[in-house]
């Protein structure tokens, strides 16, 4: 028994724990400042100024918002299912955070003679893991809506669930075409294939577009925010929630946005690869740690672009009607991704045959 | 149906063309429009730091004026109270005693002068009625207060600072310096 414990590489466990703590903290801080950025972007797009009272450029605004949410009264409705009611936001937060485990945030760093990969878990089915966890995200909405015991919340939850399930199909199909090119489900391998090559977005423009649209739907962002439609369903599934439980739901949405941006950057835009720079020779010349830092910055910059895009779309496009949503998902995106899959498969076969029929 | 006027515009409700059905071009166009707004000038004025200049005829809170030697101009004639359509002004007159010549310009002065800012409609008729140039409407407006009583301004709030003893405050109240 003791021998078994001694055999465990404690340094490995320690470095993974630190990495998890750092990734979770960074996602939370990023989510915090996404709320600030959302309001700022909304403001500049609508010719306003946005939050500018708390601190320079209103940078302390998220802290003030968080404090406000913590101070609010925690209300659990009498008629609600108390266990599920508390579980809902927790589950939403958990699934949002779990996805970040397989995303590579940089190649590797060398500290105290140890080589530490900047990825919590390099599992060879990374994409499947992401899909699995993202599908669990629907439980957060569903449980929240059900436990509230309120017809509007329930309606919103059912809408959200059906939306997420139908867009997951198109998302999966669009990824299959990409997987034919990569031949691997590991995110790390996919990035390494894109390093110093053309990014996969140029091979799979249609696949990327479908994935992008589905990512919007999975994150419940406008134009797919039917599950929290303020003007028709009174704020949707989090209507009965208050205080930090509401905060968790709102936060989970922003973390989802961050992580799905990271996934899109990883799959289609080379992940942590620094554009126009040969990463390996840069690492040899300037040191591995500096390279890893720059790679993380590069990934974060790509994510920031995507997050801005998410917000930009939100303040441009109005919400879909429910039938339009289903129409787009089932009658447009799924056939399109099937066509994309078939064409890609055909071209991949043709390439293997050296472009002879 | 026959058109009633010649201004009627017939709206064609054609089914969408393939290009329009794609939605993507329309969405891209909309996104471009919202993006262009990022670089537009923002009409907002950062209020407490910056203020919009008032018109020269702006009618704000009242000021009881003093003359060049710092004596109160008001003689408590009551014309402002008569002119006031909202009946917001009350005053009590008193006779100037020997030795108070430096405080009050005429033999009679207002011992109590109150304006109820909740009743006042800031019409400026008191200013026009005053024969002694004693009351003016300034460019500040009534700040918020917790009680109704707080809105009844007495002489302490209304009187302009003495130009001899408090020249800086006087200049500020006159709007000469900022």
Mean pLDDT, residues A294-316 taken together: 90
pLDDT at A3: 63
In a domain, A193, yes or no: yes
Chain B: closest CA distance from residue A109 (Å) = 39
Q: Do A312 and B30 touch (CB under 8 A)?
A: no
Question: A5 or A118: which carries more pLDDT confidence?
Answer: A118
- The CATH code of the domain at B62-174 is 3.30.70.3270
pLDDT at B128: 92
- Structure-block tokens of residue A230: 């303020």
C-beta neighbour count of B57 within 10 angstroms: 7
Q: Give A103-152 pLDDT, tens digit per residue.
A: 888 888 887 777 778 888 888 888 888 888 888 888 888 888 888 888 88
Structural domain harbouring A333: 2-76+99-123+166-352
Q: How many domains does chain A contain in total?
A: 1
Give the span between the Cα atoms of B25 and A73, in whole angstroms: 46
Residue A45 has pLDDT above 80, yes or no: yes
Residue A216 has pLDDT above 60, yes or no: yes
Question: Mean of the per-residue pLDDT values for chain A?
Answer: 85
φ, ψ of residue B91 to 5 degrees: the values are -155, 160
Q: How confident is the model at residue B113 (pLDDT cuts 50, 70, 90)?
A: very high
- Structure-block tokens of residue A77: 């409705």
Q: Give B118-171 pLDDT, tens digit per residue.
A: 999 999 999 999 998 899 888 877 678 899 998 999 988 888 888 778 877 777
Residue B51 has pLDDT above 90, yes or no: no
In a domain, A20, yes or no: yes
Q: Give B161-174 pLDDT, tens digit per residue.
A: 887 788 777 777 77
Mean pLDDT, residues A310-316 taken together: 89
In a domain, A210, yes or no: yes
- Closest chain B residue to A46 measured between Cα atoms? B37
User: Is A48 an interface residue toward B (CB < 8 Å)?
Assistant: yes
In a domain, A131, yes or no: no
- Closest chain B residue to A309 measured between Cα atoms? B31
Give the span between the Cα atoms of B170 and A89, in whole angstroms: 60
Q: Do A312 and B34 touch (CB under 8 A)?
A: yes
Residue B8 has pLDDT above 80, yes or no: yes
> What number of helices (H) and strands (E) belong to chain B?
6, 5
In a domain, A161, yes or no: no
User: Is B31 an interface residue toward A (CB < 8 Å)?
Assistant: yes
- Range 308-327 of A in CB contact (< 8 A) with B: 312-313, 315-317
In a domain, A293, yes or no: yes
User: Is B30 an interface residue toward A (CB < 8 Å)?
Assistant: yes
pLDDT at A6: 64
User: Is B34 an interface residue toward A (CB < 8 Å)?
Assistant: yes
In a domain, A83, yes or no: no
In a domain, A150, yes or no: no
Domains of chain B, residue spans: 62-174
Q: Give B61-97 pLDDT, tens digit per residue.
A: 888 988 888 888 999 999 999 999 999 999 999 999 8
Q: Give A255-289 pLDDT, tens digit per residue.
A: 988 988 999 998 888 888 888 877 777 777 887 88
Q: Rounded to whole angstroms, what are the CA distances from B119 to A190, B28, B139, B148, B166?
A: 75, 56, 18, 11, 31
């Amino acid at each position: 028994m003791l021998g078994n414990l001694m055999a465990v590489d404690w340094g490995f466990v320690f470095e993974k724990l630190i990495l998890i703590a750092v990734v979770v903290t960074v996602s939370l801080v990023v989510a915090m400042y996404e709320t600030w950025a959302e309001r700022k972007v909304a403001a500049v797009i609508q010719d306003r100024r946005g939050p500018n009272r708390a601190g320079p450029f209103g940078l302390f605004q998220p802290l003030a918002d968080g404090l406000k949410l913590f101070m609010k009264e925690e209300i659990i409705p009498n008629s609600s299912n108390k266990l599920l009611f508390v579980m809902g936001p927790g589950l939403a937060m958990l699934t949002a955070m779990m996805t970040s485990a397989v995303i590579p945030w940089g190649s590797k760093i060398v500290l105290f003679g140890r080589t530490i990969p900047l990825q919590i878990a390099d599992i060879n089915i990374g994409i499947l893991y992401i899909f699995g966890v993202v599908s669990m995200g629907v439980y957060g909405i569903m449980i929240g809506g059900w436990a509230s015991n309120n017809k509007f919340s329930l309606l919103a939850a059912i809408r959200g669930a059906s939306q997420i399930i139908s867009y997951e199909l198109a998302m999966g199909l669009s990824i299959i075409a990409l997987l034919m090119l990569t031949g691997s489900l590991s995110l790390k391998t996919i990035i390494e294939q894109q390093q110093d090559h053309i990014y996969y977005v140029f091979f799979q423009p249609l696949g990327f577009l479908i994935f992008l649209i589905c990512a919007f739907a999975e994150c419940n962002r406008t134009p797919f925010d039917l599950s929290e439609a303020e003007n028709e369903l009174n704020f949707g599934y989090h209507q009965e929630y208050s205080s930090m439980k509401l905060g968790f739901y709102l936060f989970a949405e922003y973390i989802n946005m961050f992580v799905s941006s990271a996934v899109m950057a990883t799959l289609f835009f080379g992940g942590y690869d620094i554009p126009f720079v040969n990463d390996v020779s840069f690492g040899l010349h300037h040191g591995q740690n500096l390279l890893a830092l720059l790679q993380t910055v590069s990934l974060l910059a790509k994510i920031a672009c995507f997050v801005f895009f998410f917000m930009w779309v939100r303040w441009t496009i109005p919400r879909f009607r429910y039938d339009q949503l289903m129409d787009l998902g089932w009658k447009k995106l799924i056939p399109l991704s099937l066509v994309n899959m078939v064409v890609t498969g055909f071209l991949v076969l043709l390439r293997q045959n050296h472009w002879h029929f | 149906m026959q058109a009633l006027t010649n201004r009627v515009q017939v709206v064609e409700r054609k089914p969408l063309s393939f290009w329009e059905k794609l939605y993507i071009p329309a969405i891209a166009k909309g996104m471009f429009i919202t993006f262009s707004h990022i670089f537009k000038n923002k009409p907002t004025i950062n209020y407490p730091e910056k203020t919009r200049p008032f018109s020269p005829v702006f009618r704000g809170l009242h000021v009881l004026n003093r003359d060049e030697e710092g004596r109160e101009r008001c003689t408590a004639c009551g014309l402002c109270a008569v002119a006031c359509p909202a009946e917001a002004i009350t005053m009590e007159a008193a006779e100037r005693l020997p030795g108070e010549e430096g405080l009050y310009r005429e033999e009679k002065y207002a011992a109590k002068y109150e304006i109820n800012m909740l009743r006042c409609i800031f019409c400026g008729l008191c200013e026009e009625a005053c024969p002694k140039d004693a009351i003016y409407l300034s460019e500040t407006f009534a700040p918020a207060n917790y009680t109704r009583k707080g809105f009844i301004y007495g002489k302490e709030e209304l009187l302009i600072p003495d130009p001899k003893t408090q020249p800086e405050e006087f200049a500020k109240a006159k709007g000469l310096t900022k």
